Amino acid sequence: MGSFFNLFNNNHRKCFHEVIKNKIKIHSSIYYPGSALFLKKLTSNRERKEIDLIIKIAGYNFDQFRYELDKSVAAFDIEDFYGIQFWDEVPFNSQKKIDYIELEKIIKYLEDLKNKKFVKKLFLQIRPGQHKLEETKLLNFFDGFAFYAYPNEAQLDIDNFNCILKNKKTFLQMQFFGGRYKKNLRENFLNNNNDKEQEKNWIKKCIHYSVNNFDDNLLFVGSTRKLHRLKFLIENLKTYNYENCERTRFSKDCLILSERDYNIDTHKKNLTILTSNIYLFKQYLIRFLKLILIKKK
């Protein structure tokens, strides 16, 4: 649920109900305006108890992590989570090395929550050149690692890929459909002919790439607000036959590398803005005005 899901958009609601019906895991965050409200308003208390939700939270120090976790629980009105994913940041000390004392404080707190069945899995998002997993203790702390990948590029160092695979950790692939890079990837594939058949071919390509590169210990994250795309994806995943691995370009050979989309120095300020009712009201107002303009045309 990284895109804006509009409560008043019938197609968005149908997509969400299809996800609930098929018991698909949901990936979201209080950083994504409207997501918590959308989920909460379209589910009952009973349904929320059965949802497998992975939330994305900043984990660069214990106090901020606790604050955002508590805020997430309140916003989504949910009793437990399938997973918690750290942004691509862990605590660092003044020498710019991982602060294991602070990190272990967070992990110890989360392990206690695991024992209480509040959370099942812990994930860390990693960027190219950021960590060499085999040279850190991070493998001991996290159940899986998140990264951007889409046909045919993985923004993941090949040594880390092999390390995740060897240690049987979970691959959490972000931007399954090409995401924010659709102008470079999806639209090029569709050749500017965005009909349903071409879209189906693109989805097939995404499935083929992901399941044949990242083993069967894979969760992938993709956002769509088109019901026909979602249904086609679900049906193809049910009938897909695994084949040999495709070739992929790892980080050093990637043609596209994502820029980091947030800064710790402005994190608290941005969080306050993005989770405010005023900001959410503006988002709905913008869409409402666009709808009026479209109808006038």
Q: Each residue of 105-155: pLDDT tens digit?
A: 999 999 999 999 999 999 999 999 999 999 999 999 999 999 999 888 999
Q: Prior bond to 11 cis, omega within 30?
A: no
Q: Which of 63-72, 177-186, 254-263, 267-276 has the highest mean pLDDT?
A: 63-72
pLDDT of residue 240: 76
In angstroms, the Cα distances linking 189 to 117, 152, 178, 194, 195 are 43, 12, 11, 10, 12
Question: Mean pLDDT throughout 187-209?
Answer: 77
User: What whole-number distance in Å separates Cα of residue 28 and Cα of residue 147?
Assistant: 15
- pTM (2 decimals)? 0.91
- At the top level of CATH, which class does the domain 1-125 belong to? alpha beta
In the chain, list all ranges with CATH 3.20.20.100: 1-125
Residue 163: CB partners within 8 Å, gap ≥ 6?
133, 134, 139
- CB-count burial class (<10 Å; 0-12, 13-18, 19+) for 41: exposed
